[in-house]
Structure 1
């Protein structure tokens, strides 16, 4: 047993010594950033509606009527069923201290994906007519997001390579193959947000207006790259 332990100890000592004697590969580590700005072509709109009354069944029925009108309108507008869904439903009892009585309030919200931004005003006005009375947010998207993310990643690698070349060229050296690549990117994409009130939108004089500021989305990619030096 003692001989086996001694053999293992000698083996690891020789391995450690060999590793220490192994020449270190000259290398340089840099970070690279890739940015791609795009104009969104889609939007996810979150809308809602609510009804208040003395009876729980009554306010629920009122909400159900609005849901039925909204879904029929979306279908008639050519919006696929897969592009809209209910995101929140609530029914609760509240007390009115001024009138000293209880009320019931039913509310519901839906998320609708608009793949044609030109239909925004038409869809919003139709939803208002169906009983929707609030917009809680608009999130802009791109149908080619994966393609743009690939472009951003490529730009990040090229940026890292250029940085490494800038540093080592002063020393009369060149960069070799990449030894390690680490993706430091996060999935968050900064974008403009829009909030508004459906009733305010309904008070239109019928004139043609630009009511949606789309802006730009910016995709950011960050990588760390270690290059060997030649």
Structure 2
């Protein structure tokens, strides 16, 4: 009796294994998810430069201007975490025409403005504080993490739809995902609306709108392998 029961269990197990698909083939696809958003933040890159014959004087001039710039930014409510020195440089230059040397002091500062309505006032104030070069601006969104999550879901749905279409053309079906990988982009941030390096010779006039943030893309790409039945 026990032997008969054991044979019956083995028979049922064999039948169940035969009926359970065990796919080894996969269909590999990529998916892309895009979310469009209007930027609500801007990063301004400015530079302070001074030149002269005396290194101490040049450095002191630069330091005074930078101090004025930082004081102005604090007065505008810009937090310390949003102001970063990119580099400080003091170099010796040879003038071929006069056969003499001069010195140039440079300091680059990156400023993140989290309220675009303050952009004009901040830019004008920076010019009045003594900055003499604007290296460019770049836009971003405070909702980037949440929007990336949305883009990932869209990318997965896009990949699933592609895999389903491939499988149905072969009268087959897709199963669970065997592997998922996200395409790593070098720069996943927003592209600058403009980027320029210009010498500022005069103060900007107020009452004008000079910033056009436009719209930026949050894009995610994934590679997915689905089991094929």
| TM range, smaller chain | 0.7 to 0.9
Q: Aligned in 2, Cα 1:138/1:216: closer, same or farther, shift over 3 Å?
A: same
CA distance in 1, matches of 2:137, 2:105: 23
What is the alpha-carbon distance in structure 1 between the residues aligned to residue 87 and residue 164 of structure 2? 53
Query: Are the aligned partners of 1:44 and 1:112 in contact in 2 as well (CA < 8 Å)?
Result: yes
1:115 equivalent in structure 2: 114
Q: Residue 202 of structure 1 aligns with which residue?
A: 203
Contact 1:43/1:141, CA 8 A, preserved across alignment: yes
Q: Which segments of 5 or more consecutive residues in structure 1 lack a partner in the other structure?
A: 1-22
Cα separation, partners in 2 of 1:73 and 1:45, compared to 1, 3 Å: same
Normalising by structure 2, we get a TM-score of 0.82
Contact 1:185 1:220 in 2 (8 A): no
Deviation at 1:36, TM superposition (A): 1.7
Paired with 2:166 and 2:60, the residues of 1 have a C-alpha distance of 70
Q: Is 2:150 the partner of 1:141?
A: no
Matching residue of 2:37: 38
Which whole-Å deviations, capped at 9, do the CAs of 1:107-135 have from their partners, x for residues lacking one?
Answer: 11111111011111110110111110111
Task: Kindly provide the CA deviation profile for residues 65-91 of structure 1, in whole angstroms up to 9, marking residues without a partner as x.
Answer: 101111111111111111102111111
- Conservation of the 8 A alpha-carbon contact between 1:48 and 1:134: yes
Q: Which runs of 4+ in 1 moved over 4 A?
A: none
Distance 1:172 1:181 in 2: 24
Deviation sequence 1:10-48 (CA, Å, 0-9, x none) = xxxxxxxxxxxxx75343222111112222111111101
Matching of residues 205-224 of structure 1 within 5 Å: 206=206, 208-224=207-223
Counterpart secondary structure, 2:73: helix
TM-score (norm 1): 0.82
Structure 1 residues 130 and 202, CA gap change in structure 2 (3 angstroms):
same
Deviation readout 1:108-167 (Å, 9 max, x if unpaired): 111111101111111011011111011112121111111111111111110011111112
Q: 1:201 to 1:53 in 2, by over 3 A?
A: closer
Equivalent position SS for 2:187: coil
Quote the residue 2:8 is aligned against: none
* Unaligned segments of structure 2, at least 5 residues: 1-21
> Match for residue 191 of structure 1?
191
